[in-house]
Amino acid sequence: PLCSQEFQAKKSVVKVRDIEIGNGSPVIIAGPCSVESREQILTISTNLAAAGCHILRGGAFKPRTSPYSFQGLGHDGLKLLAEAREMSGLPFVTEVLTPVDVELVAGYADMLQIGARNMQNFALLREVGRTKKPVLLKRAPWADVVTWLQAAEYILAEGNFEVVLCERGIAATQASSGRHLDLAAVHKVQNLSHLPMIVDPSHGTGDRRLVGPMALASLEAGCDGLMLEVHHQPETSLSDKEQAISLEDYDGMLKKIKLLNSQM
């Protein structure tokens, strides 16, 4: 397979504008779960840029479990993300939910996110594979590492090698907690593939108190970066409220990350 170490022994570096993912120095992707308003995304993005952040995240098209939950601002959300990029200087990644939206989202975003629920949406994988945009492929909660890499293969097979994998927690079968952040997957992926891999401890734990410790553990496990959900007023978040960390907590976390990184 194209994503395997047999095909390419050297680790891939994926570029998002001038940010390199996989070059040995961890990349931090941060931002709210959803773009909620102009004020919200501009406040968060400018503060993140000032604190230190490489790539902004924010959902405009949201994959919600209930059809009655906030579904995102759609096209307007993309425009707000572009404005936030302008103001903060941060490139952005945002999710694309369906093949027909790929052209629209790719017209705005610096990186396309395939959500966990769409990991095996083969038509969508093929469509993003036909673009030249970097793709962030999240792991489905039910997928083993090989199945996940096969999903990545769909994108590479269309000619797009700019793929970054993202661990975001797998389904627990026996434990009471529904989520398990699979940090051992970092080593499994590194042994099988040349693709860079980041970890999302926000969705991986669903609990803001666990995000900091798991972020540090993820870096210690050797991943190429983190995806973190951050909100200027976490309690008002329209989605994933329980896992959103404040800008203050983000600052504190970044200091610990820098300390860990200088010791590595």
List residues near ligand PEP by CB under 6 A: 33, 59, 63, 115-117, 138, 168, 203
Q: Which does 74 bind (CB under 5 to 8 A by kind): Mn ion, ligand PEP, none?
A: none
By DSSP bridging, strand 163-167 and strand 197-199 are: parallel
Residue 240 touching Mn ion (CB under 5 A):
yes
Count of beta carbons in the 10 Å neighbourhood of residue 212:
18
Nearer to Mn ion, 31 or 91 (CB): 31
Nearer to Mn ion, 33 or 151 (CB): 33
Q: Give the nearer residue to ligand PEP in terms of CB position, either 1 or 70.
A: 70
Stretch that binds Mn ion, among 1-9, 42-50, 153-161, 233-241 (CB under 5 A): 233-241
Closest separation in Å from C-beta 203 to Mn ion? 6
- If we measure between CA atoms, which residue out of 127, 136, 145, 163 comes closest to residue 55? 136
Write down the least CB distance from residue 202 to Mn ion, Å: 7
- Residue whose CB is less far from ligand PEP, 1 or 63: 63
Pick out residues in 76-135 that bind Mn ion (CB under 5 A).
none
Closest CA to 136 of 102, 112, 110, 104: 112
Question: Which contacts of 64-71 are long-range, i.e. CB under 8 A and separated by 24 or more positions?
Answer: 64/239, 69/239, 70/34, 70/238, 70/239
168 binds, among ligand PEP, Mn ion, none (CB under 5 to 8 A by kind): ligand PEP
Q: Which residue has the tokens 């975003």?
A: 109
Phi, then psi, of 238 in degrees rounded to 5: -85, -10
33 near Mn ion, judged by CB under 5 A = yes
CA end-to-end span of the chain, whole Å? 32
Residues 6+ apart with CB under 8 A from 213: none
**Least distance (Å) from ligand PEP to the CB of residue 8?**
26
CB of 59 to Mn ion, least distance (A): 7
> What are the residues binding Mn ion (CB under 5 A)?
33, 240
